[in-house]
Amino acid sequence: MAHVKRISLALALLFAVSLGIYVQQGLSSRTPPLSIRIAVSQTPLSTPFYVAQHKGYFKDQDIEVELVPYVGGHLCFQALTNGKVDLATTSDSVIMFNSFDRRDFSILSSFVESDNDIKVISPAPLKIREPGQLRGRRVGVIHNTASEFFLHSLLLISGISPQNIELVSLRPDEMSAALISGQIDAASVWEPYAYEALQESTPPPNVINARGMYTLSFNLVSMRPQASNQLTEHRKVLAALGEAIRYIAKQPKEAQKIIAQQLQRNPNAIAHSWNDYVFKLSLSNSLISTLESEARWAVSQHRVSAASIPDYRTFIDDTALSATEPAASLIR
């Protein structure tokens, strides 16, 4: 009887060891999650990325995503081209400026639009309320970004030559202090930095009304060429962003709390511009038209050395978006 017990115990131990080896082999052979670094501009426009991270939508897609913060889409794009990140968020104007110098990147999807994100603001004592009152003034801009294109468009539409103002190149987070100190007389800047200037100045600055003049889009871009594993990464990232955008639509207050916490901003700063944002995944002909219009402006104003504009359809790669959300790709 004792002999039988010893045999049973030996068999049980052998089974346990075998099972442990099998489980260990199974775990070690499992493919680790894809690791992706994304350069993300520090504005409320980036809400879908931070919601996807906060709610676990990236993990649901079996990808490990690191969101790398930068102050502006132009710096995000630089990080991408310098190989510091795998993907980047950036505005249409940054895409336009860089398209004259390089053709080795692709637009995977737009994810938000706003026709009131950029504002031209000026200290109240200067009484600048109309574009014509900017003549002879020093105006802060973020060079080669939507900030500069927006200001130039406002001036040209108002019949004012950009040569009639003095452009001062600044970072967005320098604008408020520059206005207060008198270094500049006005600033063309996006949110939440426009809100900061409104709150930090007494009395609040004047805002030149230009809502609807220019619709800015923020886009997800990658470098070429793209291997098959990159297509999988892009598809998974876009699927997670799609879930985040649906959450934003259903729970806007919670989404505002998430982005306010991530950007370490006053929730009022987020609420101030929230209704100006339209979050959606898309690739449409309107993006092509915007890029073409911006490029023609850049050529006519000698902001670039080229005499003709690029074919922006060649920068569009809707492979991942079509696989993830087919109705979102409207390029024809």
Give per-residue pLDDT as tens, 296-313. Answer: 999 998 999 999 999 999
For residue 212, give the DSSP letter. T
Spatial distance between the Cα atoms of 214 and 117, rounded to a whole number of angstroms? 9
Average pLDDT in the chain: 90
Percent of the chain at pLDDT exceeding 70: 89
- Tell the CATH topology of 34-114+216-328: D-Maltodextrin-Binding Protein; domain 2 (3.40.190)
Domain ranges in the chain are: 34-114+216-328, 118-208
What CATH architecture does domain 118-208 belong to?
A: 3-Layer(aba) Sandwich (3.40)
Distance CA 222, CA 109 (A): 10
Sheet hosting strand 138-141, strand order edge to edge: 166-169, 138-141, 186-190, 118-122, 206-208
**Given CA atoms 300, 302, 308, 311 in this order, what sign does their dihedral have?**
negative
pLDDT tier, 28 (very low <50, low <70, confident <90, very high otherwise): very low
pLDDT at residue number 31: 63
Same fold, 34-114+216-328 and 118-208: yes
Predicted local distance difference test score (pLDDT) of residue 316: 96
Q: Which is it for the CA torsion 185, 191, 197, 199, positive or negative?
A: positive
Residue 14 has pLDDT above 70, yes or no: no
Which residues neighbour 28 within 8 Å (Cβ) at sequence distance 6 or greater? Answer: none
State how far the Cα of 310 lies from the Cα of 39, in Å rounded to an integer. 25
For the cut 90, the answer to whether the pLDDT of residue 331 exceeds it is: no
Residue 189 to residue 60: CA distance in whole angstroms: 36
Q: What is the pLDDT of residues 124-171, one digit of tens each?
A: 999 999 999 999 999 999 998 999 999 999 999 999 998 999 999 999
Could you tell me which residue, 11 or 97, shows the higher pLDDT?
97
Task: Report, as an integer, the average pLDDT of 265-277.
Answer: 93
Asked if residue 241 lies in contact with residue 167, where contact means CB atoms within 8 angstroms, the answer is: no
